[in-house]
Structure 1
Amino acid sequence: MTKKLIVGNWKMNGSLAANAGLLQALLAGLGDQAAAADVALCASAPYLAQLQALLQGSAIGWGAQDCSAHESGAYTGEVAAAMLRDFGCRYVILGHSERRQYHGETDDQVAQKAQRALAAGITPIVCVGETLADREAGRTEFVVKRQLSAVIHAVGHCASEIVVAYEPVWAIGTGRTATPEQAQAVHAVLRAQLKAASAHSSRNRILYGGSMNAGNAAELLCQSDIDGGLIGGASLKADEFLSIIASCPLAAAGL
């Protein structure tokens, strides 16, 4: 069984004091759960130095929530992937639905960012997902395959090095969640697409990112093609985030 990956996406939340308290609680509560699941936290850029200082040498990795499609240059306000590497980032979330919706990010831009992240030695967590209108129109498979295809085409033989997060837009921050069967069906489609793209697709992990919480995590994480979770609001609450980690099948098996 593939080791699960649980990633917290803090979004635009946090403060130095609040972060320190949350990290202290997570480090104290994680214990042996770290052996069962890989765990990471993705924070806003100003807090990456804090995560590096407090998590260095721990079982928790860290990452960013976006990076520039450019290597360097006159792009005021942008953060290059190489800069993230300086702060020890292992992951960077790319193409989150909020970036696509509020900042107009296209599939091609997300693909370019994935290239930059991989070139800097950072694992991109590439988000794909359909709107409610897409799902009701029967376009779910078309949309997620189109979004992932752009990245696969851009990164070529490195496709096996990305993490994919399926996040149905209609289930993000709404309290609605895809049923385990709905989520598994889309994950299976993405798995087949990755297998067709790379002989090393067994390295890819596909996360579910649609309002996973302590109450529904176990049922979602036991699905055959769900390799973990991209956790939003629940990652800001130590007890709930730890409960999600404990819900991983490997953790339950004590492995």
Structure 2
Amino acid sequence: MNYTLTQIPDRTAKPRQSGLTMVMDKGLSLREVEDFLSTSAGYADIIKLGWATSFVTPNLKEKLDIYREAGVPVYFGGTLFEAFIVRNKFDDYRKLLDKYSMEYAEVSDGSIEMPQDEKCEYIRTLATQVTVLSEVGSKDEAKIIPPYKWIQLMKAELEAGAWKVIGEAREGGTVGLFRSSGEVRQGLVEEILTQVPFESILWEAPQKEQQVWFVKLLGANVNLGNIAPHEVIPLETIRLGLRGDTFTQFLDK
């Protein structure tokens, strides 16, 4: 930090197991990646190349190399995994991970129907090759999953070998954990937390109000994802109680 302030919450140090900020790269140029890392590499824990943008991203290898040189790991979005699975190309997906020396992978079923046993088997298999993040929830805003099912899915996928389970919200924050207005499904989140450790969950929360809600509920070291590159530093100030929304959160009463 550039100077000293008291009554600032302790943040976990990188490489973190909690307090993660997952950043969504939806097609940054190489120059934009360099500029982003020059200010935010210390606060970005992992980068997701959104959905299947890696399929059409120019200079993909060079982009991955820039992130790696900065010590920030990258993974392909879960929709790319689903695109391979729906075409019966799982082995090709595993070869793709090796081709680009990927150390992380996301397993999801937000766009396709997949039996839970099958999804857990993909997790078990990939966990022998990479660190797996597993996404729970549908991208279909009309599909409402009851809390008990979220809990059952999250537990099963963690037991299958997922490092973290991701609560689905899409890049807009209007499905899954949230209503179409962006409002948090508070009862759903609170019920999940009765049975799944908060350190094991990465909550997709692209909107500022959603980030504030989770920091107020779970503290500075909540795992948050789908953060836009230009919102990484603003999020860090929310975590530290240095933005109006959380200004009194960590002050001595």
Task: Report if TM-score (shorter chain) is over 0.5.
Answer: yes
Q: For the structure 1 residues 164 and 81, does the alpha-carbon distance in structure 2 shift closer, same or farther, using more than 3 Å as the test?
A: same
CA distance in 1, matches of 2:126, 2:242: 30
Matches within 5 A, 1:38-77: 39-43=45-49, 44=52, 45-46=54-55, 47=57, 48-66=60-78, 75-76=88-89
Identity over aligned pairs, percent: 8
CA distance in 2, matches of 1:104, 1:75: 14
The match for 1:207 among 191, 198, 202 is 202
Q: For the structure 1 residues 250 and 181, does the alpha-carbon distance in structure 2 shift closer, same or farther, using more than 3 Å as the test?
A: farther
1:179 deviation in Å? 5.8
CA distance in 1, matches of 2:215, 2:103: 23
CA distance in 1, matches of 2:71, 2:190: 28
Residue of structure 1 equivalent to 2:30: 20
1:74-123 Cα distance to aligned partner (Å, 9 max, x none): 9458742353144232322222xxx43x3223323321221222111x22
Q: Secondary structure at the match of 1:119?
A: coil
Residue of structure 1 equivalent to 2:154: 148
CA distance in 2, matches of 1:19, 1:84: 21
The match for 2:128 among 104, 119, 123 is 119
Q: Secondary structure at the match of 2:69?
A: coil
Q: For the structure 1 residues 81 and 7, does the alpha-carbon distance in structure 2 shift closer, same or farther, using more than 3 Å as the test?
A: farther
The match for 1:223 among 217, 223, 231 is 217
1:52 maps to amino acid: L
Unmatched tracts of structure 1, length 5 or more: 193-203
CA distance in 2, matches of 1:52, 1:251: 32
1:215 deviation in Å? 4.0
Aligned partners of 1:41 and 1:60 also within 8 Å:
yes
Residue of structure 2 equivalent to 1:189: 195
Runs (4 or more) in structure 1 with deviation over 6 Å come to 130-133, 250-253
Q: For the structure 1 residues 106 and 227, does the alpha-carbon distance in structure 2 shift closer, same or farther, using more than 3 Å as the test?
A: farther
Q: For the structure 1 residues 61 and 106, does the alpha-carbon distance in structure 2 shift closer, same or farther, using more than 3 Å as the test?
A: same
Aligned partners of 2:177 and 2:188 also within 8 Å:
no
Aligned partners of 2:20 and 2:223 also within 8 Å:
yes
**Please, what TM-score do these two structures have when normalized by structure 2?**
0.65
The match for 1:109 among 118, 121, 128 is 118
1:64 maps to amino acid: F
Q: For the structure 1 residues 38 and 240, does the alpha-carbon distance in structure 2 shift closer, same or farther, using more than 3 Å as the test?
A: closer
Q: For the structure 1 residues 149 and 243, does the alpha-carbon distance in structure 2 shift closer, same or farther, using more than 3 Å as the test?
A: same
2:207 maps to amino acid: N
The alignment's C-alpha RMSD in Å is 3.9
Q: For the structure 1 residues 150 and 206, does the alpha-carbon distance in structure 2 shift closer, same or farther, using more than 3 Å as the test?
A: closer
Unmatched tracts of structure 2, length 5 or more: 1-11, 170-174, 244-249
